[in-house]
Chain A
Amino acid sequence: MNWDVLFDPLFWTPFITGFLLAVILPVLGVLLRLKDEWLAALGLAHLAGASGLVGLAVGIPVVLGAPLGALAGALIKSFGRFCGNTIYALMILIGWAATLLIAANTTLGSAMGHALVEGQLYFADNTHLVSAYIYALSSILLLQWMAPVLVSARLFPGHAFSLHHSVRKWHIGFNLLVALGMALGTGTLGLMAAFALVFIPAWVAFRLASRWRVCLAIGTGIGLISYILAFAIALILDQPFGPTLVAVLIMQAIMALIFWPAPTQQPKSPTSSV
């Protein structure tokens, strides 16, 4: 084991790039889970992976190519009339087929296909860092306005209808934000690692939180702690980052669910006790 590698300046840029994404993706995951749209993250990640590879084939860096597919997916999701999870399942299938076909038919694509799945965080350069920084800063600012509207629209759809306020623009804006986040996450952390950062912290937070702010704090906390641990473990033990992050997230989730008591649930029976 080489502990010195943790303090090697060579890895500072990758670490900060991933850290910025690990702050935002769990928050998006909490909102996606509230909207019952968490599968969208996996669909968008697959499209981002596929378009990242297509971009490489024509000489466009993954960090620029991946968002194109994800944004296209977000627009289809926003304006298409699909019921339930249909559109997300289609995104996953299209992205999966395209990624493997491109990987199978190009030399570069084969290597990059593996890299996208496993994560190529250690190759993050200043382009990735600047992209992640702009994205994280924009997300923090936008979510201040966006999140309350999205929560309110989810819980009280009658408000949205009757006040003649269009919440559609906020939904579209959120979809685009998720698409960009998944594209950046897929291009740096890896496809499944980016999805895991969206899915697992939110899943645990929904089980354990006593109120909304605590839910956001738990989600962000689990995401960040897992990211830092995974980064260190992968470097010291020379492991691929993506699977390491997913494994650490799952371990954290199991420990949190075992040692942190969930609020008592009552059956939602028609009978009441007032």
Chain B
Amino acid sequence: MTQALLAADGLVAGYSKPVIGPLSFSLQAGDVLGLWGANGSGKSTLLRAIAGNARIFKGALKQKPGLTISWQMQQPVRLDEMPLNGHDYLRYARANHQPPPDRLQPWLDQRIDTLSGGQFQLLAVWAMLGGNADLVMLDEPTNNLDPDGEQLLTEILHFEQGRRTVLLVSHEREFLEKSCNRIYRIDA
């Protein structure tokens, strides 16, 4: 049996006090695992704990040695003025592992701040997926997406099953069911 990239065993995490847990789950290479739960259930805190940015109170969180992670936070950084085009954006994200999907190509020559909210969101997701990190963590990637954008994101994530390991946080159950090969429910 191959070693899990990530394994939580009775994990309780938070900041000054516990926010989430106890949780037990594991993540194998090629998994697209959805973390589903209501707003405020601590999904984002779990991602922070995995990234080493939240406190672990109890339990264990084991990572494969040398694990590299790309993490898109709930609100990707979008400045009022961004004098970078899509190529610049992906270059600084080191998203050069694979070419972007065709539907993203027309946006690459545009300045980031001229893209619509949905276009920027999809580019920001690809900035994570296009790199070579072992694990990609996406926090509420459907923010700002209309049904067409959500469909494109679902197709991208579905395509990544078995190829990339993705931890996907969302409160939209239907989106997770379409995009992930496993769903883990987190209760508040």
Q: Which residues of A contact B (CB under 8 A)?
A: 33-34, 36, 148, 151-152, 154-159, 161-164, 205-207, 209-215, 263-266, 268-274
Contact = CB atoms under 8 A, between A and B. Distances in A.
The CB with the most chain B CB atoms within 10 A, among A36, A206, A273, A274, is that of: A274
B92 A155 contact: yes
Contact of B115 (A158, A213, A266, A271): A266
Contacts of A156: 77, 92-93, 127
B89 to A, nearest CB: 7
Contact of B93 (A36, A155, A271): A155
Nearest to B115: A266
Given A211-B88, A212-B84, A162 B118 contact: no
A273 B116 contact: yes
Contacts of B45: none
Interface stretch (B32-40, B143-151, B180-188): B143-151
Contacts of B81: 33, 206-207
B71 A159 contact: yes
Contacts of B84: 155, 211-212, 215
Interface in B126-145: 127-128, 133, 137, 143-145
B113 A271 contact: no
B113 A265 contact: yes
29 contacts: A36-B79, A152-B93, A155-B89, A156-B77, A156-B93, A158-B51, A158-B128, A158-B137, A159-B71, A161-B52, A162-B68, A162-B70, A163-B133, A206-B83, A211-B83, A211-B84, A211-B88, A263-B113, A263-B114, A266-B114, A266-B115, A266-B116, A271-B117, A272-B144, A272-B146, A273-B118, A274-B116, A274-B118, A274-B145
A159 B70 contact: yes
A161 B116 contact: no
Contacts of B72: 158
Task: Kindly name the residue among A155, A207, A209, A214 whose own CB sees the greatest number of chain B CB atoms within 10 A.
Answer: A155
Interface string B64-106: 0000111111000111010111011100111000000001000
Contact of A158 (B71, B89, B118): B71
B152 interface: yes
Contacts of A212: 83-85, 88
Contacts of B48: 161
A251 B81 CA distance: 22
A155 B116 CA distance: 17
Contacts, number: 120
A273 B119 contact: yes
A158 B144 CA distance: 19
B79 A34 contact: yes
Contact of A272 (B78, B89, B110, B117): B117
A79 B148 CA distance: 46
B122 A155 contact: no
B158 interface: no
Contacts of A215: 83-84
A211 B111 contact: yes
A163 B92 contact: no
B114 A264 contact: yes
A154 B143 CA distance: 20
A154 B81 CA distance: 13
B53 interface: yes
A161 B92 CA distance: 16
A211 B111 CA distance: 7
B121 interface: yes
Q: Which residue, of B72, B117, B149, has the highest number of chain A Cβ atoms within 10 A?
A: B117
B53 to A, nearest CB: 5
Nearest to A214: B83
B113 to A, nearest CB: 6
A270 B79 contact: no
Contacts of B127: 156
